[in-house]
């Protein structure tokens, strides 16, 4: 089905807070998952007669399990500090895309059924019945939130809309309104091993082709090993790195880094995907199942280190959740976790981000680079929201901001940051994160990219920036599709290891 036509917002000199346009994005509804997809995920595929009771039961269950959800629903004082912080509100002007309004969609129902005041005096406390119209609003507006957490940075109480969005999606899934895009991908990664559904032989073929390309280009036989038992490093990276442009350029960069450092490494067919869409459909059990593939592969291959490639939400799951979900790192105490913890080398962070690994190798002189090989580029850096606000990197606070920048500056001579209020912890989402990277949400994606595009446009005008580096597969896919709509060339987006790949010296 062709996406509806819509106007592309005009890029202004600064990010403007728009006038409210009630309900302008109510039509932007992502496709609902069909039966086969929901069946595999263990969810119903349509609303049953008792959908309301079932939704409220699930909501009660989540409120009992996740104390943060209850605190977030109780704590908001409607101060308004978050209202103009969401890129989807700034890009669409729909007031339901204000973070507080997005939260209120669930808060009103919470008050009606889970608070005494709401049960007795619903109108007085802004409580609302859970009706089909309310449910439709949940579906539409919880799929116009990329779980980027920007709003939480500005909330005096630290209320995290992303957690409310995740709970909303979990309830929707539970009653048969799952999202086609995310749930289809979750099926593929569990059945085949990666989000693209690429079987092992296709992967092998691609890697061999890439090895030939690198050798033709550099004269050096750089390898792309897969399923090698006893390798030191297991690299898990988003499957887009195997096939999509510009992602594949970063995969070539990782391979060159391992080659230059003399480190034995391997990919895995079983865990040929770092991405974990369990984060997007809000279900921690699904997130755990997807993450377990990586633990299984690490045990099977007997590796000493686990390194994660350029993927924002994958790094968030790896850094923040792997330890308790799978025992990679510290935390879990089942026999397999203990075996894994004994097997992994304690001299390295487990898991480690590829940027930290490469940056350390360059700083210690173990690999050599020539930044002048990137002199055709004037570079800026887009902090991916999941890396910026939901993880860390390295040993110092703020390493997730400084390490990628240090690395970029060691491989390029021309670098300029975008405006301060659009980077670091204030970074804007690319507009396609959180399960929104689907063509049926193109209008939301294009409009949601407006704040980032505005900041980019300013460094293009001021400093002639012609390349925006990022360490997220979703950001790369989103920007290559959306930037041309604003008049930019799609080739101006790429990975940090794409820059490393050009500058690295291979003997």
Residues that bind ligand SF4 (CB under 6 A): 76-82, 85-86, 88, 99-100, 102, 145-151, 155, 157, 159, 161-162, 165, 429
Nearer residue to ligand SF4 within complex by CB, 118 or 193: 118
Nearer residue to ligand SF4 within complex by CB, 23 or 156: 156
Task: Supply the minimum distance, in Å, between the C-beta of residue 83 and ligand SF4.
Answer: 7
Task: Supply the minimum distance, in Å, between the C-beta of residue 436 and ligand SF4.
Answer: 9
* CA–CA separation, 105 and 137 (whole Å): 8
Task: Supply the minimum distance, in Å, between the C-beta of residue 128 and ligand SF4.
Answer: 17
For residue 294, CA distances in Å to 150, 274, 303, 328 come to 29, 8, 11, 9
* CA–CA separation, 222 and 208 (whole Å): 10
* CA–CA separation, 499 and 507 (whole Å): 18
Reading the block at residue 477, the tokens are 């896919």
Task: Supply the minimum distance, in Å, between the C-beta of residue 154 and ligand SF4.
Answer: 6
Nearer residue to ligand SF4 within complex by CB, 82 or 248: 82
The C-alpha angle 469, 474, 479, rounded to 5 degrees, equals 55
Nearer residue to ligand SF4 within complex by CB, 246 or 433: 433
* CA–CA separation, 43 and 86 (whole Å): 31
Task: Supply the minimum distance, in Å, between the C-beta of residue 353 and ligand SF4.
Answer: 22
Task: Supply the minimum distance, in Å, between the C-beta of residue 148 and ligand SF4.
Answer: 4
Task: Supply the minimum distance, in Å, between the C-beta of residue 155 and ligand SF4.
Answer: 3
| Sequence-separated (6 or more) residues with CB below 8 Å from residue 40 | 187, 190, 191
Nearer residue to ligand SF4 within complex by CB, 242 or 428: 428
Nearer residue to ligand SF4 within complex by CB, 81 or 419: 81
Sheet holding 379-381, edge to edge: 379-381, 467-470, 493-495
Reading the block at residue 260, the tokens are 């230059």
- The DSSP element (H or E) to which 306 belongs, if any, is strand 305-308
Nearer residue to ligand SF4 within complex by CB, 157 or 348: 157
| Helix residue spans in 302-398 (DSSP H) | 312-320, 322-326, 335-343, 354-363, 385-390
């Amino acid at each position: 089905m062709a996406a509806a036509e819509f106007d592309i917002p005009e890029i202004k000199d600064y990010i403007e807070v728009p006038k409210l346009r009630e309900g302008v994005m109510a039509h932007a509804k992502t496709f609902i998952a069909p039966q086969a997809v929901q069946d595999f995920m263990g969810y119903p595929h349509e609303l049953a007669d008792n959908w309301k009771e079932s939704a409220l039961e699930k909501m009660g269950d989540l409120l009992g399990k996740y104390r943060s959800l209850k605190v977030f629903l109780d704590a908001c004082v409607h101060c308004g500090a978050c209202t103009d912080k969401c890129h989807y509100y700034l890009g669409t002007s729909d007031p339901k895309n204000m973070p507080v309004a997005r939260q209120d969609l669930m808060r009103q129902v919470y008050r009606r059924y889970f608070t005494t005041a709401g049960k007795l005096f619903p109108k007085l406390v802004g409580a609302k019945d859970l009706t089909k119209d309310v449910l439709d609003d949940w579906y539409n507006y919880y799929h116009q939130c990329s779980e980027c957490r920007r709003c939480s940075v500005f909330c005096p109480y630290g209320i995290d809309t992303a957690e409310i969005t995740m709970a909303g999606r979990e309830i929707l899934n539970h009653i048969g309104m799952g999202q086609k895009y995310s749930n289809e991908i979750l099926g593929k990664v569990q059945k085949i091993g990666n989000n693209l559904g690429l079987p092992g032989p296709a992967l092998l073929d691609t890697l061999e082709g890439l090895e030939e390309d690198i050798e033709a280009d550099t004269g050096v036989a750089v390898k792309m090993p897969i399923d090698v038992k006893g390798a030191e490093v297991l690299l898990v990276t988003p499957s887009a790195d195997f096939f999509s442009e510009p992602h594949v350029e970063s995969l070539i960069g990782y391979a060159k880094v391992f080659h230059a450092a003399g480190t034995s490494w391997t990919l895995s067919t079983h865990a040929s995907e770092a991405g974990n869409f369990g984060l997007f459909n809000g279900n921690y059990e699904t997130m755990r199942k997807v993450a377990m593939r990586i633990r299984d592969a690490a045990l099977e291959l007997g590796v000493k280190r686990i390194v994660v490639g350029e993927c924002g939400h994958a790094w968030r799951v790896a850094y923040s959740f792997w330890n308790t979900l799978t025992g990679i790192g510290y935390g879990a105490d089942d026999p397999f976790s203990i075996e894994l913890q004994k097997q992994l080398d304690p001299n390295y962070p487990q898991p480690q981000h590829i940027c930290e690994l490469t940056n350390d190798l360059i700083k210690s002189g173990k690999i050599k680079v020539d930044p002048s090989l990137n002199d055709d580029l004037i570079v800026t850096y887009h902090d991916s929201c999941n890396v910026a606000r939901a993880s860390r990197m390295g040993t110092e606070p703020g390493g997730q901001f400084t390490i990628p920048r240090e690395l970029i500056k060691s491989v390029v001579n021309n670098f300029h940051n975008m405006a301060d209020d659009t980077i670091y912890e204030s970074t804007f989402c690319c507009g396609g994160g959180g399960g929104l990277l689907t063509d049926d949400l193109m209008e939301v994606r294009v409009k949601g990219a407006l704040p980032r595009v505005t900041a980019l446009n300013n460094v293009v005008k001021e400093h002639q920036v012609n390349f925006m580096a990022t360490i997220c597969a979703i950001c790369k896919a989103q920007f290559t599709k959306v930037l041309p709509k604003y008049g930019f060339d799609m080739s101006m987006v790429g990975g940090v290891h794409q820059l490393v790949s050009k500058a690295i010296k291979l003997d």
